[in-house]
Amino acid sequence: MIMMKMMKNKLIVYPCIVLLILLIFPGCSLMSESPAIDSENTGAEEGQSSIVSTTAIVVPSQEATLRFKNKANNLHILARKGEQVRSGDVLVESDTVQQTLKLAEAKAQLTNAQALYDALLREELREVRQSEKEAAFEQIEAAEAAIDLAEENLSATRISAPFDGAIIDIFIDPFENVFAGEPILLMADMDNFVIETDDLDEKEAARVEVGDRVEIFFDVIPEETVYGVVAKIAEKSTSGAGNDFTVTISVPASVENLRWGMSAYIEIDAGSADADTMASEQAEAAETPAANADSARDPERRICETMDFLSETVPDGTVINPGEVFSKSWTFRNIGTCTWDTNYRMVYVSGDPMGGAHEIPFPGYTAPDDLMTITLPLTAPQDEGEHRGDWQIQNDLGAKLYDVWVEITVEETN
């Protein structure tokens, strides 16, 4: 009997031991294989290329199709196709007689209301009731409101240039009547171009950041690689099949012979604008000043510090009296990804310094897409004739970013 109980206990214990072993060892096997699977997945992610490649086209940095908000009659076209216009120039206007008369009437009402109110304030011989002054003041307010409305309506009879640019096309004939919203003319900034692509799907667009470096290859200049940066990523996908997003890339103004609609092939270094990466690059550059010129001229640093020349005062050949004190200024836009600080400077290089400083620091901090104007005080030489001095815009490591100069003709004009 005892023997039978022992055998029965063994039959119960042995299956339990076997079951326990089966439960433990598969678990150990899975645990040992799990890191291998994760490692394989991690390796695939790390091996993924950071380059996003696609085609793009050249477009103006600004373009606009101009329209009237309301119906307009008897249109007068004041600009010509191909003409360069300035921001605020009136390009088209409709019949303004009625709105001009209303504005004149409103101004006359204001003059009369103000005269009445002033007369009431000057009354000293009799008591002026408060209600009379309040009524006169209400007339002033009503006249001012009428002027604002008349000016708004008069402004609506004109189309003005929203920015400096060229008239590309005119869609109407002189003295024509148009409906509200009908296209009148097309204008664009043909001096400044950008690259635009609408061929990035949602996965590619999610990898790209504003400030990422871009290599641009133009069909018209195949021997040259141009470096740009991602300037804008559309918040909304383009209409049509698929979820594609439009990406805009800035192009240095030094690239010549570009035309609206030209094709390009681009390679975006996705994630290259990451702030931590840039900070470490700048820290490494600061720690190795011996490599200043070479490191500052590598493609990554060059893109980071891209600058666009906008304007200057004192054009070449300006005539100035001997000994006359003057100054010349240059204005640049920061189209790179680095912020300029006072360690960036303008440095004298050669020629006649004309009393100018040999080194001028930047006036302050200039963030990407902001403007910076640097001014050089000068004194014209006493010797008549042509004089020229050359300076350089340099970064914080002393590498050249841009050449500037002063070229004048000294001549007694008094």
Q: Which of 138, 156, 174 is the last residue of a domain?
A: 156
326 with 385, same domain: the answer is yes
In a domain, 215, yes or no: yes
Is residue 44 over pLDDT 70? no
Task: Express each pLDDT in 362-389 by its tens digit.
Answer: 988 888 888 999 999 888 888 889 999 9
Helix (H) or strand (E) holding 403: strand 400-410
Do 201 and 258 have their domain in common? yes
- Tens of pLDDT, residue by residue over 302-329, are 667 788 888 999 999 999 988 888 889 9
CA nearest to 404, candidates 354, 353, 330, 336: 330
Task: Kindly state whether residues 249 and 199 are assigned to the same domain.
Answer: yes
Q: Is the pLDDT of residue 340 over 80?
A: yes
CA–CA distance, 68 with 80 (Å, rounded to integer): 18
- Considering just the CA atoms, what is the radius of gyration of the chain in Å? 36
Pair (317, 402) in one structural domain:
yes
Residue 125 has pLDDT above 50, yes or no: no
Write down the pTM of the prediction: 0.48
* pLDDT-based confidence at residue 31 (cuts at 50, 70, 90): very low
Look at 51-65, 97-111, 344-358, 385-399 and tell me which has the smallest mean pLDDT: 97-111
Together in a domain, 406 and 312:
yes
62 pLDDT above the threshold of 90: no
Q: Indicate the average pLDDT of the chain.
A: 77
Range scoring the smallest mean pLDDT among 95-109, 160-174, 217-231, 386-400: 95-109
Structural domain of 248: 51-61+192-275
- Domain membership flag for residue 122: yes
The answer to whether residue 366 sits within a structural domain is: yes
Q: What CATH number should be reported for the domain holding residue 365? A: 2.60.40.10
Average pLDDT for 271-298: 48
* Mean pLDDT of the region 162-172: 91
Tell me the C-alpha distance between 237 and 233, whole Å: 10
Same domain, 150 and 230: no
Higher pLDDT, 376 or 273: 376
C-beta of residue 390 within 8 angstroms of C-beta of residue 351: yes
- Listed residues 156, 178, 205: the one ending a domain: 156
Q: What is the CATH number of the domain that holds 232?
A: 2.40.30.170
Q: Average pLDDT, stretch 241-257?
A: 80
Query: Is residue 175 domain-resident?
Result: no
Q: Which residues contact 140 (CB under 8 A, 6 or more apart)?
A: 110, 113, 114, 117
Among the candidates 156, 171, 205, a domain finishes at: 156
Same domain, 211 and 255: yes
Are both 399 and 316 inside the same structural domain?
yes
Rounded mean pLDDT, 117-126: 68
pLDDT at position 11 is: 40
pLDDT interval class at 39 (50, 70, 90): very low
Has residue 45 been placed in a domain?
no
Check pLDDT > 80 for residue 159: yes
CA dihedral sign of residues 226, 227, 230, 232: negative
Residue 395 located in a structural domain: yes
What is residue 2's predicted lDDT score, i.e. its pLDDT? 36
pLDDT at 30 over 60: no
Domain membership flag for residue 88? no
Which pLDDT does position 34 carry in this prediction? Answer: 36
> pLDDT-based confidence at 301, cuts 50/70/90?
low
Find the range with the poorest average confidence among 86-100, 183-197, 375-389: 86-100
In a domain, 264, yes or no: yes
Q: Which run of H or of E encompasses 250? A: strand 245-250
- Residue 32 in this model has a pLDDT that exceeds 60: no
Number of domains in the chain: 3
Same-domain status, 311 and 266: no
pLDDT at 127: 57
Q: Is 408 in contact with 314 (CB distance < 8 Å)?
A: yes
Do residues 312 and 357 both lie within one domain? yes
Burial label, 69 (beta-carbon count in 10 A; 0-12, 13-18, 19+)? exposed
Q: Can you read off the two tokens belonging to residue 94?
A: 């409709």
